[in-house]
Amino acid sequence: MGTGAVWHSPPDDLAQNLTGHLAFQQEPWQWPPLLARTLRWPEGVSIALTDSNPLVSVLAKLAASVTGRPVNLFGAWLGLCLVLQPVAAVYLVRSLGARSLEAALAASVLALSFPALLARIGHENLGHINLVGHFLVLLGLGWSIRMVGGSRGRWWQAVALATVAIFIHPFLFVLLCPLFAAPLIACVLARRGVARALAGFVASTAIPYGLFAFLAGVTGGGDFGYGHYSMNLASPFWPQRSGMFGPDLPVIDATAGQYEGLNYLGAGGLLLLAVAVWLLLSGRATLPPWRLWIGHAAVLLVLAGMAVTHKAYLGPWPVVSIDAYIVERVMGPVRASGRLFWPVAYLLAIVPLAIVAQRMRQPWAVLVLAVAALLQWVDAAPLRAAVQAYATTGVDRSGGVALPARATLLTSVSSCGAPAPATGPIDRLRLDAIRAGIPLSDVRMSREPAQRSCEGVTSDALELQLRPGEVRAYVGDKAMASLRGALLGPGARCRRGQAMILCATDPMTGWEMSELGGAVLPLGLGQVVEGDALAPFLGWGWVRDPVARYWSNGPRAVLLFRMPALQDGAKLRLRLEAEGIGAREGRPNRVLASAGPNVWSAAPQARQELTLADAQVAPMALEIAPVGEPGSIVRVVIQIPEPVDPRVRGKPMPVRWAGIRLHRLTVLPGDAAAP
C-alpha cells in the first residue's frame, strides 16, 4: 500500500525515485506534461530523468487530484509486477508450444524465483523498483516468438508494449527493441513480408521514443560505466546468494560493478537446461528449422556480447580487456549493460522447460518439472528473504540533521560521481524537503540532460553565496572537504551531522557561525602567483601534478580571489599563463571565461573566448569589470567546451578530462599594457 517502513525512510535509489513521484503530484499540469518545477527549481526537470516511473506517476497525479494530497503508488506497482510475472511466464511458455498445466505451474515458479528479478528489489538495497517490471521482458519474448511462428502476434502489439515499457523505465524499452528485430530477420530470411516487417519494427521503436521525448521534453544522455557494470561470464551458471549451495556465496564481481550482471539461472533453471541438452544430444528432441530461430539467436548473441562488454571476465580473471574510448562513449546510455542479459537468461530457462514438457515422456516430464520448480524455489530463498527485509525495514537515520522550519529552498552538494553511501543521506533529505513542500535546486538524476553538467551544478553550490531562506547540504567527504565558509556570504551558519553539513543564512538561529575551510585571499595588483601558492586562489575543478602545476579536470575550472582596491570605475586585467591540452598534438584548445561576484544572478555575464596553444605556455588577458567593494570575492569561471580524454590524446595526465594547465597568474590594472 506504499505505507511501510521502506517508504518512510527509503534507501538510496528508491528515495530518488519517490522524490520525483511525490513532487510531480504537488504541481498543476504544465508543459511538457512530465515536468516538475520543484525539482531543480525554478527551471524544473522531467521526472523521466529521476526514474520516477512516469506511467505510474501520471496515474498517481490523477488520484491526487481527487484525494487532494499526493499518494504513493509504488507499493501497488511492486505488487502488480509480482502478480504479472507468472502470468507473463505462462504466456511465454505457451508461445513455445508448451500448453500443459504442469508447464504453466513450473514456469510460474521459475519466473517468480528468478534471481535477476529478486536482486532488483532486495540485493544490497539496489532499490531499482521500476526495473522489477520483468514481466514486460517475458511478454516481449513471447510476442516475438509468436510473430516468428506466424500466430497471434501483430506489430501494433509491439508498439503498445514498447510504449508502456519506455514510460515505466527507458532501460526496459532498450531490452524490448532488439527482441522486435527477430521477426524482421525471419522475414528477411524467408523473403516475404519484409516491407511490412520493416515498417512494423521502425514503428515499434520510433513511435514510443518520439512520444517519450515529446511528453518528457528531454531524453537525457549517457554516462561512463560501460564495461564496469557488466556481466561476468560465470554469472549465469555459478551459484550466488544460493539457498542450495550457500546463502553467503557472494555475487561474482570482478569490477565492483558486476552486481548489475547478476544473472544466475537458479538450480531449477540449470537442471532444466541440462536435461534439455541431454534430450537434444540423444535425439529425443529436435530444434525447429533454423530460419525460425536464427533471428532470436542473433539478437540474443548480440545482447549477451553487450552484457559482457569489451572487458570480459570469467570469475576474477580477465578474458578480454580492450581499452576502447569510443565504445564507452557510444554505449554510455546502456552503461549498466549486465542487465542486457535478462532476455537471454529467461530463454535459457524457459526454452528448456518447454522442451522437457513437450519432448519427455510422462510421468518423467512432470517429475522433472516439479523437481526443477522445487529446486528453484529453495535456491531463491536467500534473495527472497532479502526482498522481505527490504520491503519491511527502513534506513536508520539517527545522527542526521533535520531541515529548519523556515527553509524555503534546499540545495544539495555531494560532488560528481559520489558513491551511493554518500548520496543516500542527501537523497533522503531531498525527499523530506519535498514532503514538506520545499523546492529543490538540485536532484540526482539517472540521465543528466546534455545541457546541464554535474560539475557546473556542484561548483555553483560550493562557491556562490547562500540565498535568503536557502539551506545548503554538503554530503560526502569530498563535498565537505571542499566547503569554504567564506564563500557562503556574511551571516552564514552551519550545523554538522553524522553524514553531512547543513548551512543556512543568519535567520536560522541556533546554528554556529561558519568558519569552515580555507580563506579566500586578496590578490594584490602586480602580484605574481605560481606553484603551490596558487592553491588558495583555486576553486572547483583543479588537480595538482607532482611539479606543482594545476590541471583543469572536467568542463569547468574556477579561480577565486578578493578584490583589490581600485579607483572608481577602474577595471582589472587578469593575466593567466597556461598551456592548452588539445585533442591532438598541436591542436589548440578553446576556453570561455567570465568573471563576476560570487552571488546568484539572473543576469548573464559577459564571456570572453580564449584560445590556448597545445602544450605551449602562453599569456592570456582576461578583462574583469568592477565587481564590488575592495575585499569582495571575485569568481572567474573557465569553461572548457571540449575537454580531452587522456586516452584519446594518448598522453598520461593526472585528470579524467583535461583542458588547460595553469602555471601562474597576475592581476594588473585595466590600463596596463597587454601581455
CB proximity list for 466: less than 8 A, separation 6 or greater: 472, 488, 489, 492, 503, 504, 505
How much is the pLDDT for 261? 93
Q: Which three cell numbers stand for residue 417?
A: 560521481
Q: In angstroms, rounded to a whole number, what is the distance separating the alpha carbons of residues 622 and 559?
A: 12
Q: What is the pLDDT averaged over residues 646-668?
A: 88
Mean pLDDT of the chain: 88
Is residue 541 predicted with pLDDT exceeding 70? yes
In this model, does residue 57 exceed pLDDT 50? yes
Phi-psi region of 217 (alpha: psi -120 to 50; beta: other; left: phi over 0): left
Question: Over the stretch 178-199, which tens digit does the pLDDT of each residue have?
Answer: 999 999 998 898 888 899 999 9
Residue 675 has pLDDT above 50, yes or no: no
Q: What are the residue ranges spanned by the domains of the chain?
A: 5-72+399-513, 75-391, 528-668
Lateral strand order in the sheet of 556-562: 556-562, 633-639, 589-597, 608-612
Position 619 scores a pLDDT of 85
Q: Is the bond preceding residue 250 a cis peptide, omega within 30 degrees? A: no
**How far is 279 from 176, CA to CA, in rounded Å?**
30
Q: What is the DSSP letter of 627?
A: -
CA distance linking residue 389 with residue 367, whole number of Å: 33
**CA dist., res. 110 & res. 351, Å (int):** 12
| pLDDT above 50: residue 338 | yes
- Whether residue 339 contacts residue 307, with contact meaning beta carbons closer than 8 Å, is answered with yes
User: Which pLDDT does position 602 carry in this prediction?
Assistant: 63
Taking the whole predicted model, whether its pTM rises above 0.85 is answered as: yes
Q: Is residue 153 very low, low, confident or very high in pLDDT (cuts 50, 70, 90)? A: low
CA dihedral 362, 363, 367, 373 (to 10 degrees): 50
Q: What is the pLDDT of residue 151?
A: 60
Q: What is the pLDDT of residue 399?
A: 63
**Residue with cell string 529446486:** 375
CATH 1.10.3470 fits 528-668, yes or no: no
Enumerate residues 6+ apart whose C-beta is below 8 A from 112.
82, 85, 86, 89
Is it the case that residue 674 has pLDDT exceeding 50? no
For residues 593 and 332, the model is more confident at 593
What percentage of the chain has pLDDT greater than the value 90?
A: 50
Q: Which range has the top average pLDDT, 29-33, 163-167, 181-185?
A: 163-167
Integer CA distances (angstroms), 538 to 106, 404, 542, 556, in order: 63, 32, 7, 12
Q: How many CB atoms lie within 10 A of CB 152?
A: 12
**Distance of alpha carbon 182 from alpha carbon 175, whole angstroms:** 13
**CA-CA distances (angstroms) from residue 576 to 349, 539, 610, 657, 671?**
64, 15, 11, 20, 17
Grid coordinates given for 343: 532476455
In the block, cell 560493478 appears at 257
* Burial bucket for residue 510 (CB in 10 Å: 0-12, 13-18, 19+): exposed
Dist CA 558 CA 64 (whole Å): 44
Q: Which amino acid is at 554?
A: G
Which of 198-212, 302-316, 587-601, 624-638 comes out lowest in average pLDDT? 624-638
Confidence at 145, pLDDT banded by 50, 70, 90:
very high
Residue 624 has pLDDT above 80, yes or no: no
- Is residue 309 classed exposed, middle or buried when 0-12, 13-18 and 19+ CB atoms within 10 A define those classes? buried
pLDDT digit string (tens) for 625-649? Answer: 766 677 889 999 999 988 998 888 8
Q: In the prediction, which pLDDT does 84 show?
A: 97
Distance between start and end Cα atoms, the chain: 69
pLDDT digits 0-9 by tens, 225-259: 789 999 999 999 999 999 999 998 999 999 989 99
| 483 touches 559 (CB < 8 A) | no
- The answer, yes or no, to whether residue 308 has pLDDT greater than 80, is yes
Beta strands in 86-150 (DSSP E): none
